[in-house]
Amino acid sequence: MNLYDLTIHEAADLLRKKKVSSVELTKAVLCRIKKVDEEIFAFLTKTPQLALAQAEEVDKKIAAAQNISPLAGIPVAIKDNIVTYGIKTTCASRILENYIPPFDATVVERLKNAGAVIVGKTNLDEFGHGSSTEHSAFGPTHNPWDKTKVPGGSSGGSAAAIASGECLFALGTDTGGSIRQPAGFCAVSGLRPTYGRVSRYGLIAMTSSMDVIGPMTKDVEDASLVLQVLAGKDELDSTTVEGPVPSYSHFLKEDIKGLKVGVPKEFFIEGMDWQVERSIKEAIEKLASLGASVKEITLPHTVYGVACYYIITPSEISSNLSRFDGIKYGLSKEAGNLFKVYTKTRGESFGQEVKRRIMLGTYTLSAGYYEAYYLKAQKVRTVIKNEVLRALEEVDVIIAPTSPNLPFKLGSQIDAPLKMYLEDIFMDTASLAGLPAISIPCGFIKGLPVGLQIMGKPFDEGTVLKVANNYQQATEWHKQRPKL
């Protein structure tokens, strides 16, 4: 096996046994990036010198027989809306094209402290606004399984980088499914933690009430290792929770006999790709064969999830993006007066999807419409959240497709925003309720991946990981690699 195809736990074992060095592992990944990224375009910024310097430091610690983290010496890619000290952080937007942050996000600091090796920053839909990574100001990322297809979004660069062997794991962000959908489209494992489990300090905000940072990995065991490092209270983020972080690896040792799996009938809808539906139902049968008890449940208000999400999200986007005005930081366009500086900078620097969401959000927050749209959407969000939490009193996890469709062709939906928004239809529920959820591969149709989504109770990532790991131990889908 090529070094760049290793999982974190496989590579960590080789590093501990001194069968491979971190420098060798990092060089293999950097060579892979050089070989394939021109056609995949997973990265916006590459950091080979930093990566090799970090790898050398890890090798010195190993040579000195120091205790090291399971992530020490492991190449990682960071989504480019998470700030990195001294490394450009662009959000795939012209307005931040040359922005170099003076500090690290908490998650980046924790990865550095664990000894992870940063190989670069990955592409995304501009400011996270999209489901295909086509809305990047610098060009789209291509799906490694079929380069004519999208990798999903907005964390498509991170997912594509893992699938193509350009890193061993990556960080993504998930608001309405931006970790899970690209994980499903690229056949990797993508975990959205509970809102408040992982610090958002240093994440350039999209929808502050839903944004989370999470791991994207080659398998579930790796996801548990990364979450162990990322999770926990952060004094710089008041939304993180107090209390100890459980040992996620402990959950992976347990079976799922007697565990209750809920299958919402509303998540198998007319218009869904029948082959995707078949793959999901086969995955549910596999979980049943492993000892899980399967029960059909109903979540009737989740049909309003997409509409609810696309009122709340643009509203918060409108507020969060007001800081990019051409004055405080980022790009500034010269103009005759202050108002023209604002309008010229924002008008010429933001992409079409960003402008669309700002205008929608400004409208829903304006006088006369706030109560009719935004306030009502927040009430519906509460109804959906309570409905899902009641269901999770009867079952341990909820199973659903990650996406109703297979990866679609590049350019096929770029001018159809409503169709693009519906790609989030099965993922908005966990986002609105702030729940943990993971997408893992559960099949291939004509060479294209299908994703299985597993949702759990608040702060019960352990059970979500346990179910996902049991499935992966009984199947081989996650071990397949694209031929590039």
CB 70 within 8 A of CB 8: yes
Q: Is 154 a catalytic residue?
A: yes
316: CB partners within 8 A, 6+ apart: 205, 206, 207, 208, 209, 361
Q: What is the DSSP letter of 408?
A: P
- State whether the Cα torsion 433-228-33-50 is positive or negative: positive
34 is known as an active-site residue: no
Q: Which of 273, 20, 260, 32 is nearest to 167 (CA)?
A: 32
Please enumerate in sequence order all residues whose Cβ is within 8 A of that of 456, keeping only pairs 6 or more positions apart, or say none. Answer: 392, 396, 397, 398, 435, 436, 437, 463, 464
What lies within 8 Å, CB to CB, of 305 at 6+ separation is: 384, 425, 428, 429, 432
For residues 38 and 40, give the distance between their C-alpha atoms in angstroms, rounded to a whole number: 6
From the candidates 93, 154, 315, 439, give the one annotated as an active-site residue. Answer: 154
- Residue of 27, 46, 79, 121 with catalytic role: 79
The string of DSSP codes covering 257-306 is: TT-EEEEEGGGS-TTS-HHHHHHHHHHHHHHHHTTPEEEEE--GGGGGHH
18, amino acid identity? K
Answer for the pair 432, 384: CB distance below 8 angstroms, yes or no: yes
Under 8 Å between Cβ of 237 and 201: yes
134's CB contacts (< 8 A; 6+ apart) are: 125, 140, 150, 153, 410, 411, 414
Contact 91, 127 (CB under 8 A): yes
Alpha carbons within 13 A on the beta-carbon side of 351: 24
Q: CB neighbours of 476 closer than 8 A, spacing ≥ 6?
A: none
**Of 21, 69, 155, 178, which one is the catalytic site residue?**
178
Distances (CA, A) of 380 to 103, 210, 239, 372, 377: 38, 15, 22, 12, 5
**Is the previous residue joined to 154 through a cis bond, with omega within 30 degrees of 0?**
yes
User: Rg of the Cα trace of the chain?
Assistant: 21
Q: Count Cα neighbours of 191 within 13 Å in the Cβ-side half-sphere.
A: 36
DSSP assigned state of 478: G
Identify whether 93 is a catalytic site residue: no
List active site positions.
Answer: 79, 154, 178
